[in-house]
């Protein structure tokens, strides 16, 4: 864990996120580029910001990417968007920092880039990776402190199909690549009921080039940790227990208010939507030196509903954080022991989780051919498959594939072979237990099938495919979201999250809790 006294520029340009004493989820978007004045200084006049942490954060990103290549992904159809993103960001840098950043057009597709802070100069041809000596998304990540996500818009939805995310706040970019915007935000409490994510999704789809917007998001982090990704939970998870037992001075030094400034930009050439995500960390001891910030943050932390505090991972120490801030000017007054809220938040529907029909779907007569996949020994599986076959055969060419289990390599190979043999316009219908159905649907999507071509009926929901965020093994487990399983790959005890990737066909899981992790370490 790293800690350091906050430099003056980090306080002066900190994007304090709270505009009221009560915080609730909202789209909270506004046009980008307008400077925001704060009691400590100002922020917001540029989509990319270079500060005193520039060299340190670039070095940290390089180390993370070397250790974990899954933080970087560009699906093949997103290569034009990666070039578009690189040139857009280089232009922004040159405009914001003309004394140290220089972008020169040499005519046609030729460009020269010079970064005096890094002592680097490079000439490249737009679209030609050999001239750049790197893929464009990786290269631009060596020039800016912001994380980058690129969203492709198709079929009325946005999909996170490219990006470099090294400073994630308790999520897994490697797991989420290829998922839709709505699926990724499914686990966030309240947002579906309140309609926040749906409104944000519609707003993003309407973004226009050269009209960027921005928003802020926040949580708290123990220590100056930029990378608190799901993959590294074993390293930072125990801090949530540890922080409850330190003295007051250490508490104020270690607990950081973590703010993301997210710029939302429609790229002009590719039409992709770019998220620039800049993370700022400020310890409570520095927040408290700005009295309006101290008072407002204390109110927000104290009032925050339990389900939101739990999702943000701060429920074990947010009460103490509020009390610490309130008593900052009266250090002689004892700070109350941390309170752990034990109330149960109401259950709400989660977007993106499988929603299985209560009866088999009808065969789509618009299909040009049909592949019907029946997996497992259940009588109901066989009954559903036979009923589908009877109808499908009256419409067009039909193939029935009967498999024992998709945990078997030979059965998986037969499925892949059958999927490869299907043609455009085919309809793929899958029935069986939940694990096999999800696995088969994921394989079908990987083979190029789209949602309208897929139907499924689950006969047993006892098991499901689980993706371990730590060793990246995907395995079959008996359980449900919220349950605990053991990973056969790394032997960690994992909690299954309410976070399902349709493209992977699996549920995300990570080490169960900080107390268990302390015992394992």
Give residue-wise pLDDT tens across range 95-123. 999 999 999 999 999 999 999 999 999 99
Same domain, 410 and 491: no
Cα angle 499-500-502, degrees, rounded to a multiple of 5: 155
For residue 126, give the 3-state DSSP assignment. coil
pLDDT at 339: 38
- Is residue 154, in this structure, part of any structural domain at all? yes
Q: Are residues 148 and 194 in the same domain?
A: yes
Q: Are residues 373 and 249 in the same domain?
A: no
Structural domain including 487 reads 462-516
Number of domains in the chain: 3
Q: Is 399 a catalytic residue?
A: no
Same domain, 141 and 259: yes
Residue 308 belongs to some domain of the structure: no
pLDDT at 515: 38
Q: Are 30 and 114 in a shared domain?
A: yes
For 345-363, what is each residue's pLDDT tens digit?
A: 333 334 457 889 889 999 9
The answer to whether 441 touches 505, Cβ cutoff 8 Å, is yes
- Tell me, yes or no, whether 317 lies in a domain: no
**pLDDT at 8 (0 to 100):** 87
Backbone φ and ψ of 170, nearest 5°:
60, 45
Does 416 lie in the same domain as 363?
Answer: yes
In a domain, 301, yes or no: no
- The answer as to whether 160 is a domain residue is yes
pTM passes above 0.75: yes
- Whether residue 159 contacts residue 181, with contact meaning beta carbons closer than 8 Å, is answered with yes
Q: Are 245 and 2 in contact (CB under 8 A)?
A: no
Contact status, residue 400 vs residue 430, Cβ threshold 8 Å: no
| Residues 483 and 447 reside in one and the same domain | no
Q: What is the block-wise mean pLDDT of the chain (521 residues), using blocks of 10 residues?
A: 70 95 86 94 96 96 96 96 98 97 96 97 97 97 98 95 96 93 75 72 94 96 96 92 92 96 97 98 96 95 93 93 87 38 37 78 93 93 93 94 94 94 94 95 91 92 92 92 91 89 88 52 38
Predicted local confidence at residue 246, as pLDDT: 92
Residue of 192, 214, 215, 224 with catalytic role = 215
The conformation of residue 344, written as its DSSP 8-state character, comes to P
């Amino acid at each position: 864990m790293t800690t350091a006294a906050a430099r003056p520029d980090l306080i002066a340009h900190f994007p304090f996120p709270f505009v009221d004493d009560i915080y609730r989820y909202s789209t909270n978007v506004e046009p980008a580029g307008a400077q925001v004045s704060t009691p400590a200084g100002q922020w917001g006049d540029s989509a990319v910001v270079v500060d005193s942490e520039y060299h340190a954060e670039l070095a940290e990103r390089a180390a993370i990417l070397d250790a974990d290549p899954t933080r970087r992904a560009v699906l093949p159809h997103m290569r034009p968007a990666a070039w578009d993103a690189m040139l857009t960001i280089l232009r922004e840098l040159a405009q914001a920092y003309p004394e140290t950043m220089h972008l020169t057009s040499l005519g046609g597709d030729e460009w020269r880039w010079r970064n005096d802070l890094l002592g680097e100069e490079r000439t490249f041809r737009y679209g030609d990776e050999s001239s750049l000596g790197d893929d464009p998304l990786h290269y631009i990540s060596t020039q800016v402190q912001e994380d980058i996500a690129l969203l492709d818009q198709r079929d009325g939805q946005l999909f996170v199909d490219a990006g470099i995310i090294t400073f994630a706040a308790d999520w897994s970019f490697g797991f989420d690549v290829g998922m839709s915007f709505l699926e990724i935000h499914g686990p966030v409490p309240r947002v579906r009921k309140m309609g926040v994510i749906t409104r944000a999704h519609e707003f993003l789809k309407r973004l226009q080039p050269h009209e960027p917007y921005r928003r802020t998001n926040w949580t708290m982090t123990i220590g100056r940790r930029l990378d608190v990704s799901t993959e590294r939970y074993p390293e930072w998870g125990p801090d949530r227990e540890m922080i409850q037992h330190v003295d007051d001075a250490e508490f104020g030094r270690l607990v950081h208010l973590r703010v993301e400034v997210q710029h939302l930009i429609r790229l002009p050439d590719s039409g992709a939507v770019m998220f620039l995500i800049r993370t700022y960390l400020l310890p409570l001891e520095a927040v408290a030196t700005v009295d309006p910030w101290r008072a407002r943050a204390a109110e927000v932390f104290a009032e925050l509903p339990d389900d939101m505090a739990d999702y943000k991972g701060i429920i074990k120490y947010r009460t103490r954080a509020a009390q610490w801030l309130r008593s900052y000017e009266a250090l002689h007054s004892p700070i109350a022991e941390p309170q752990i809220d034990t109330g149960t938040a109401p259950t709400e529907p989660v977007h993106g989780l499988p929603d299985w029909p209560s009866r088999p779907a009808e065969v789509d007569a618009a299909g040009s051919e049909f592949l019907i996949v029946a997996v497992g020994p259940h009588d109901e599986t066989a009954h559903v498959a036979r009923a589908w076959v009877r109808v499908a055969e009256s419409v067009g060419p039909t193939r029935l594939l009967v498999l024992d289990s998709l945990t078997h390599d030979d059965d998986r190979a037969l499925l892949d072979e059958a999927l490869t043999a299907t043609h455009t316009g085919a309809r793929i219908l899958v029935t069986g237990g939940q694990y096999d159905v999800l696995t088969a649907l994921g394989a079908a999507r990987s083979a190029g099938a789209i949602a309208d071509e897929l139907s499924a009926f689950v006969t047993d929901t006892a098991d499901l495919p689980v993706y371990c965020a730590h060793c990246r093994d995907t395995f079959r487990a008996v359980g449900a979201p919220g349950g605990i399983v053991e990973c056969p790959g790394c032997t960690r005890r994992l909690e299954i999250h309410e976070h399902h990737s349709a493209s992977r066909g699996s549920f995300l899981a990570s080490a169960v809790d900080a107390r268990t992790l302390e015992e394992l370490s």
